[in-house]
Structure 1
Amino acid sequence: MKTGNNATIATIFNRRSSGKLNPPGPSEAELITILRAGAAAPDHKLTRPFWFIVFEGDARLEFGEVLAESMTRRSLALGIEPTQGQITKEKTKFLRAPLVIAVAAKKHPEIVLPDEELICAGAAAAQNMLLAATSFGYGSMWRSGDVLFDPFIKEALGLAKTDYLIGFLYFGSYKDGIAPEPNDPELSDIVSKWES
């Protein structure tokens, strides 16, 4: 893979998902830069629909109670009793990294935009934050799942039913300080040139 000396291109290829991240996480100054990078993402009509909720320290464990309640409610609605192991797993999810950021896109009722554009803007903000963290040398993980569409979770985060929860971003240091190998995507199956 040829990336030249361009630091931005190198950061893109070096960003890899890491399931378990250790302390230390980003410093306060680095966190502000990561959040600013998210807010700098492209969005139609410059509505800045972004909303970021930061979880550090004990807040991660406290929100774990909310995650466990959410999973329990969804399971019971399907007639399934969750196991104690499943409940514990939900309670400790945010402890997989020293910093977690929930990324949302808030709908502005006075501005008419397709919902898809809000989702795209939120996703662009999330990617900007992942890249910013990579540029500082941190690992990251973008987590999603049924929890993103749970009204109980949205309410707990202060989001309206019409807002979109884009994902939970985990940030921290790589285990043993060793980053995964850079991504080297194969293009043959995903690129074509349009011809009339």
Structure 2
Amino acid sequence: MDALTLLTTRHSSPRLTLPAPTPQQLDVIFNAGARVPDHAGLTPWEFILAQDEGLNRLGEIFFEAAQARGEQGEALARARLLPTRAPVVITVVSRVSEHPKVPAMEQHLSAGCAVMAMQMAAQAQGLGGIWRTGSYATDPVVRRALKVDGEDQIVGFLYLGTPVIKVTPKRALDGTGFVKRL
């Protein structure tokens, strides 16, 4: 698939299964994430890989967060299983460095670009992925467990695997409809 087709047909795959990305595919995915715009070469991102037992550890973190919020019953049980919806989950954290020319927001955006690039690298290799955030991305228990503090942010959980179903691409939007001229 050529780059323009990849970008203009981008889609999420919400239902993912095995096989998981291979180590070689993951290398390509991480390398794509590290090639995004990065003003001053700050590399303001960290990729936390959860697969196999790591998915269960991430599930325990989500469970503890849900418990701390007072969730009960099915919602509490569901929290533990959320990471197991895919064979791989990559948590992308923006790690902010103090810099006179690169504000924190730009560093968060760079980490967000990394998520997009990694999802596109997965799709280009025949894999599926979905970028999720939700309440766990800002939850204090999750932040503490993943050592996210200060201005650092969890910008997304990138779920990766093999699509269970063929996703119908979203309706095509005419990007020119969002253009305002000065």
Q: Provide the rounded CA distance (Å) in 1 between the counterparts of 2:158 and 2:95.
A: 17
Alpha-carbon offset, residue 62 of structure 1:
1.9
Instruction: Judge which range, 160-169 or 93-102, deviates more.
Output: 160-169
1:35 aligns with 2:30: yes
Describe the SS at the equivalent of 1:92: helix
Q: Provide the rounded CA distance (Å) in 1 between the counterparts of 2:137 and 2:53.
A: 22
Alpha-carbon offset, residue 187 of structure 1:
2.1
1:117 aligns with 2:112: no
Question: Could you tell me which amino acid in structure 1 is paired with residue 25 of structure 2?
Answer: E
Alpha-carbon offset, residue 189 of structure 1:
8.1
For the 8 Å contact 1:144–1:168, the answer to whether it is kept is: yes
Q: How many matched pairs? A: 181
Describe the SS at the equivalent of 1:159: coil
Match of 2:76 in 1: 87
Describe the SS at the equivalent of 1:42: coil
Residues 54-94 of structure 1, C-alpha deviations (whole Å, 9 max, x = no match): 00001101211110111222x33xxxxx2221111110001
Q: Provide the rounded CA distance (Å) in 1 between the counterparts of 2:176 and 2:66.
A: 37
In our comparison, the structure showing a higher alpha carbon Rg is 1
Residues 109-159 of structure 1, C-alpha deviations (whole Å, 9 max, x = no match): 3x2332210111011000000000000011111000121112321221122
Q: Provide the rounded CA distance (Å) in 1 between the counterparts of 2:168 and 2:51.
A: 28
Alpha-carbon offset, residue 49 of structure 1:
0.7
Alpha-carbon offset, residue 174 of structure 1:
1.1
Matches within 5 A, 1:44-193: 44-73=39-68, 75-76=69-70, 82-109=71-98, 111-112=99-100, 113-175=102-164, 178-187=165-174, 190-193=177-180
Report percent identity of matched pairs: 28
Q: Provide the rounded CA distance (Å) in 2 between the counterparts of 1:70 and 1:93.
A: 12
What is the alpha-carbon root mean square deviation over aligned residues? 1.8
Q: Provide the rounded CA distance (Å) in 2 between the counterparts of 1:171 and 1:26.
A: 7
Using the size of structure 1 for normalisation, the TM-score is: 0.85
Q: Which runs of 5+ in 1 are unaligned?
A: 1-5, 77-81
Q: Provide the rounded CA distance (Å) in 2 between the counterparts of 1:101 and 1:186.
A: 28
Match of 1:79 in 2: none
Question: Could you tell me which amino acid in structure 2 is paired with residue 57 of structure 1?
Answer: D
Describe the SS at the equivalent of 1:173: strand
Instruction: Judge which range, 124-133 or 184-193, deviates more.
Output: 184-193
1:14 aligns with 2:14: no
Q: Which runs of 5+ in 2 are unaligned?
A: none
Using the size of structure 2 for normalisation, the TM-score is: 0.91
Q: Provide the rounded CA distance (Å) in 1 between the counterparts of 2:77 and 2:8.
A: 35
For the 8 Å contact 1:13–1:183, the answer to whether it is kept is: no
For the 8 Å contact 1:103–1:169, the answer to whether it is kept is: yes
Alpha-carbon offset, residue 184 of structure 1:
4.0
